[in-house]
Amino acid sequence: MRIALNARILQAPRTGIGHYVAELANALADEPDVELALFHGWGWSSDLPEAAMPGYSRLTPLLRQIPGAYQARRWLEQKRFDQGRSKTIDLYHEPSLWPLSFDGPTVITLHDLTHLHYPDTQPPSRLREIERRLADGVQRASLILTDSQYIADEAQAYFALPAERFVVAPLGVAARFHPREPEAINAVLKTHGVEAREYFLCVGTLEPRKNLTLALRAHALLPEAVRQGFPLLIAGMAGWQGEQFSDELRAALATGDVCLLGYLPDEALAQLLAGARALIFPSLYEGFGLPVLEAMASG
């Protein structure tokens, strides 16, 4: 079977859906009866990109300022998708919201319905595109994968689709997330000036849905000695409207009680998670919430 997987999201620094796509692609590539073709937005490949596209984090905010940018990019992607198919595709899998047009069987992964519950946590241009395309994509899909039964139930009710169109496939956890002895992670911890079990960790893109303002306020309510003894480390790249809590963040950073680590390599993040006193995860809404599972796997 020849499966086409839309892997365009792997051009960006990997967050939850990016890791999902990477793990899925690796697993499918190991299947003897599967020939995997990866579409990366501008062409086709059989290999996963090892890192984000250079300049991606600077380019994405710029695109949001250009009227019609989402529609123009979508039109170009569809052209490339159609032109680059040198062989017959038996199945097309779209792992992120709405599929490209395809005249054969299509599977989509619907991770959540954030745009319904918290539309103000989405860039307006992206929200308009979701509202324009998602319902049609869901109706066209032969099968809809969800990460949890909760999202399957929500989607089934909202889109008025039969239960047999949905398959719940709970997410797994990468092997790098496991308990570690303090001496095994000391080098990474020293880089960030902390000791094992003496810091709290937040993991998530700095954007409204992750609700990191709540974590900052909660940490600030702790007695001064506790704040200093257990700093709050925030690991994640800057996202849309990350500046919304910049005043509180700047104040917390000035005290030294909060540390902003930025986007970390996978292994460094896994080590930090294994050494944390606790994971702080105040997200407003998640379809699954991988960091919680990763924290449990890390002990």
Chain-centroid distance of CA 230 in Å reads: 27
Six token digits for residue 192: 């960030």
Residue range 245-249: mean pLDDT, rounded: 70
**Which structural domains are found in the chain, ordered by start?**
2-168 (3.40.50.2000), 182-297 (3.40.50.2000)
Higher-confidence position of 45 and 66: 45
CA distance 174 to 183: 22
| One-letter identity of residue 63 | L
Average pLDDT in the chain = 86
The contacts of residue 170 (CB under 8 Å, 6+ apart) are 147, 148, 288
Burial of 155 (C-beta count, 10 Å sphere; 0-12/13-18/19+): buried
CA-CA distance, 228 to 219, in Å (whole number)?
A: 10
Pairing of strands 143-146, 166-168: parallel
pLDDT at 297: 97
At residue 143, the pLDDT reads: 96
- Residue 6: pLDDT above 80? yes
256: left (phi over 0), alpha (psi -120 to 50) or beta: left
Which pLDDT belongs to residue 298?
97
Sorted by sequence, the CB contacts under 8 Å of residue 273 that are 6+ apart come out as 177, 201, 203, 279, 291, 294, 295, 298
Band of the pLDDT at 256, cuts 50, 70, 90? confident
Residue 54 is predicted with a pLDDT of 45
Q: Is the pLDDT of residue 49 over 80?
A: no
Phi, psi (rounded to 5 degrees) for 197: 65, 15
Average pLDDT over residues 243-272: 82
Q: Is the pLDDT of residue 227 over 80?
A: yes
Task: Supply the DSSP symbol for 54.
Answer: T
Q: Which of 152, 142, 70, 159 is nearest to 110 (CA)?
A: 152
What is the C-alpha to C-alpha distance for residues 283 and 279, in angstroms, rounded to an integer? 12
φ, ψ of residue 91 to 5 degrees: the values are -155, 135
Q: Rounded to whole angstroms, how far apart are CA atoms 210 and 248?
A: 15
Predicted confidence (pLDDT) at residue 56 exceeds the cutoff of 70: no
Instruction: Give the pLDDT score at 239.
Output: 63
Tell me the C-alpha to C-alpha distance, in Å, between residue 86 and each of 4, 43, 95, 157.
12, 11, 22, 39
| Distance in angstroms (rounded) separating the CA atoms of residues 153 and 54 | 39
Q: Is the pLDDT of residue 274 over 90?
A: yes
Query: Which is more confident, 241 or 267?
Result: 267
Higher local confidence (pLDDT), 161 or 72: 161
Average pLDDT in the 214-221 region? 90
209 vs 7, higher pLDDT: 7
In this prediction the pTM is 0.83
